[in-house]
Amino acid sequence: MGVSYIKRTHPHYKYNNDGKYSMNNKLLQSIVLSSAFVIAPAYSWDNGDFIIRMDMANISDSNDNNSITNMEAFGISNASTSVEGDTKVAISMNYMISDDIGLQFLGSFPFKHKIQGADGLDDVTIATTKHIPSIFTAQWHFMNSNNRFQAYVGAGFNYTVFFSGHVDSQIEDTLGNIAKIPRNNMSLTVNDSLGVVGEAGIDFKITDNIIINATAMYVDISTDGNIRSSKLGTKHKFDINIDPWLMMVGVGYRF
């Protein structure tokens, strides 16, 4: 019998027409599939994962036309404001407390907003101010499976700090010509803001660690601004309702 007989009768071998022996197709297929399973990347999130994302974040314009008080004394009626948007880099850190739930903190470089006049103050720039939002959300990754696309929704709150506000020369000139107020006689104060946040986003995983991210986030940022004139002793109060859609696109890395 010898080796020749064993190979002819063994279930994992078959005899080829050219007189050579080869392994059974089923055995080959099982080896290939097993190898593919071993080297396949794990795209799903896991409990304990730490993800950092860096995005370009755009805050949309706000055209709520919020009224300004005490402008009638200057002969200006129906004066209101709108807020121009801005784009800056945002950085977020996410920690997965389970396979499906993550906690995220998001911050950014300072956004700068120009507060424009409207209605009775058309084409007049009133002031500029900067703000940094600190955003905390809990996220549900509801498509957490071994798939390159991972979608999520989240909710939380934001605390926004306003700073570096100043009154623009255009409103100083407009009011100064009426009330004979010299320049640099007005000051701006803007209160900090606390509000709610809602978001929806998707990650596309290039590898099991590197991702491309897109997020749409609604952020409630509503506060009061006050322009004061030291000469007249008057205060002109107006609401600042940015309430922006924060649209973000960027990259991330899982540790």
Is 125 in the same domain as 248? yes
Q: Decide if pLDDT at 67 tops 50.
A: yes
Q: Which pair of tokens denotes residue 233? A: 């002793």
Q: Decide if pLDDT at 125 tops 70.
A: yes
Average pLDDT over residues 108-118: 90
Is 31 in the same domain as 60? no
Is 52 in the same domain as 35? no
Q: Residue 208 and residue 253: Cα distance in Å, rounded?
A: 9
pLDDT tens string 74-83:
777 777 788 8
Using CA atoms, how far residue 46 sits from 25, 94, 210, 242, in Å, is 36, 12, 15, 36
Q: 189 near 235, Cβ under 8 Å? A: no
Q: Give the structural domain span for 28.
A: 1-40
**Predicted confidence band of residue 126 (pLDDT cuts 50, 70, 90):** confident
Q: Residue 197 and residue 243: Cα distance in Å, rounded?
A: 10
Is 57 in the same domain as 93? yes
Pick the more confident residue, 32 or 166.
Answer: 166
Is 55 in the same domain as 151? yes
Is 53 in the same domain as 162? yes
Is 111 in the same domain as 204? yes
pLDDT of residue 102: 96
Is 105 in the same domain as 13? no
Pick the more confident residue, 61 or 192.
Answer: 192
Is 16 in the same domain as 52? no
Mean pLDDT of the chain: 81
Count other Cβ atoms within 10 Å, centred on residue 132: 15
* Terminal-to-terminal C-alpha distance of the chain: 59
Alpha helix locations (H) across 40-102? none
Q: Does the model's pTM come out above 0.85? A: no
Q: Decide if pLDDT at 21 tops 50.
A: no
185: domain CATH number is 2.40.160.20
Q: What percent of the chain has pLDDT over 70?
A: 76
Residue that has been written with the tokens 């799903």 in this structure: 44
Is 70 in the same domain as 87? yes
Total domains present in the chain: 2
Average pLDDT over residues 242-253: 90
Pick the more confident residue, 219 or 146.
Answer: 219
Q: What angle do CA 232, 234, 240 make, to 5 degrees?
A: 140
State the burial class of residue 182 (Cβ atoms within 10 Å of its Cβ: 0-12, 13-18, 19+): exposed
Q: 206 near 212, Cβ under 8 Å? A: yes
Helix (H) or strand (E) holding 9: helix 2-9
Q: Residue 201 and residue 248: Cα distance in Å, rounded?
A: 9
**Residue closest to 62 by CA, chosen among 111, 23, 115:** 115
Q: Give the best-scoring range by mean pLDDT among 76-90, 179-193, 222-236.
A: 76-90
Is 87 in the same domain as 175? yes
pLDDT tens string 33-56:
444 444 455 667 889 999 999 999
Is 26 in the same domain as 100? no
Count of alpha carbons within 13 Å of 1, Cβ hemisphere only? Answer: 6
